Structures are given as C-alpha cells and as structure tokens.
Structure 1
C-alpha cells in the first residue's frame, strides 16, 4: 500500500503577501542606503581639504567613500 501526502507550506495569498513584503523591504533598504550615502557625502563635502587630508582622503574620493560606506 502506498501513501501519498501533499503538504503545502504556503497558500497563494500568503505567498503573494510574502512577495509584497519582500519588495517593500528591498525598497526600504534601498532608500535607507541612499540616504546614508547622501548624509556621508554631505558630511565629507563640508570638510576642508586639510581635514580631508588628515583622514587620508582627497575631495575626489568622497563619492567612492559615500557609495562604499555600507561595506564596512
């Protein structure tokens, strides 16, 4: 005698809601990352060339640092 069981971990509505939640979480994360980069860029841009040199940067490094800050 063979037994055949079908289990469903999610129905269609839960899967759809989960996908919407994932999309919203990704959008939120993107906005937070963009804002962090903007704040970092503005803070570094407000420093003088001497202050930037003290921390080992030049003005041309600001965009790269602002975009890669989340890697640290």
Structure 2
C-alpha cells in the first residue's frame, strides 16, 4: 500500500483576487451598516419627545442606538 500526497498550486493571482474580493465585501458591509445607522438616527430625530416616550426612549438614547448600529452590536 502506498501513500500519495497531492500537491496542487493555486493559479497565479488567486490569493490576491480573493483578498481583493474580501476587502470589497467588507467595505460594502460597512457602508450598509453606516447607511442603516444613519437612517435610524434620522427617523428617531424626526420623532417628537412624546413619540419617543411612547416607544420607551428619550432623546439621548438616539445617539446610543446610532453608535450601536454603526459598530454592529445592535
């Protein structure tokens, strides 16, 4: 019985291409997160104090929610 080891080389530039695609995907995700946070902040800013109170928030909570969405923790 013999043991063989298959070694295959990747095509030239494949790793660089993978890293480029990965960087573009990360940038797109960051942009989408920023856009969602911005829209949420704008929607909360347009609410009156009584409307915010109805949903259990105060005006100061809007910045906290914005920062959580931007950082991806929300």
Bigger helix fraction: 1
In the TM superposition, what is the alpha-carbon distance from 1:13 to its structure 2 partner?
A: 1.1
Partner of 2:15: 15
Query: Residue by residue, what CA displacement relative to the aligned partner does 1:20-65 show, whole Å, maximum 9, x if unpaired?
Result: 0000000011011001000000000000000000000000000111
Cα 1:37–1:2 shift into 2, 3 Å = closer
Root mean square deviation, CA, Å: 2.0
Query: Which structure 1 residue ranges, 5 or more long, are not aligned?
Result: none
Size of the aligned set, in residue pairs, is 71
Partner of 1:43: 43
- Aligned-partner SS, 2:6: coil
Query: Which structure 2 residue ranges, 5 or more long, are not aligned?
Result: none
Partner of 1:5: 6
Partner of 2:25: 25
Distance in 1 between the 2:35 and 2:67 partners?
11
Query: Bigger CA drift: 24-33 or 11-20?
Result: 11-20
